[in-house]
Amino acid sequence: MLDAIYRGAHGRISALAAGLNADQLQSPVPATPGWTVHDLLAHLVGGAADAAANRIDGAPGESWTARHVAERRTRPVAELLDEWETAAPTVEAALVGQKFVGANLAADAICHEADLHEALGLARTDREHWQPLLNVMGNLPGRRLRDTATLVISDKLGQQWRCGTGETVTTLRADGYELMRALFTRRSRRQIAAWDWSPAPSEEMVDSFGAFGHRDDDQPIPAP
């Protein structure tokens, strides 16, 4: 499954990148402070190239991703896409049969594909592309709440995750795309707290979202 997810994201991002103009490539990406669209593409390509070469010291930390950007900052997009095309089959082969249990390049590509859409003012990415990741990541708050409370999360299609084992029950109804983005630390505490909670969430519940920590800068929310 992860190999197919990565293959699809690679194809879609490459097609999008190939049609961007110079101004679009220099657009800031709000979800990744300090990066432009070009920088984000450089990271995606660098991650694939490093994985193919087994150059993974420091992965997936900030120094590892920063090196991807620094090494490719002046290279044209066509060269980046050629490098990605070369490395991608090795990445896909390594993902065959893997389960989504932690950081991997398929999840990274899906997350950054949505980052690009939001940075460029495009429509949200299609549910079929990120739903398999949400199915697993929806359990993240439960691993953090433990026995302090119970949180029942429902998306607008009726999918449900029951998190925590405490006696106090809080319910949350939210859009699946927004859940996915928050779980990838792409929504601020304020944005998460503004969802449809009953009763109002504790700080601990809001903070139970975010695989990469928390953020306090509001993010652009694309129309459905």
pLDDT in tens, 62-83: 888 889 999 999 999 999 999 9
pLDDT higher than threshold 70 for residue 204:
yes
Considering the chain, what percentage of its residues have pLDDT values greater than 70? 98
| pLDDT for residue 58 | 66
Mean local confidence (pLDDT), 193-211? 93
Mean local confidence (pLDDT), 12-31? 97
| pLDDT for residue 182 | 97
φ and ψ at residue 55, rounded to 5 degrees: -105, 75
pLDDT digits (tens, 9 = 90+) for 123-157: 999 999 999 999 999 988 887 876 777 889 999 88
CA 218 to chain centre: 16
Q: Give me the domains of the chain, ranges plus CATH numbers.
A: 2-119 (1.20.120), 127-207 (3.30.1050)
Taking Cα atoms as reference points, which of 190, 177, 186, 206 lies closest to residue 30?
186
| pLDDT for residue 145 | 79
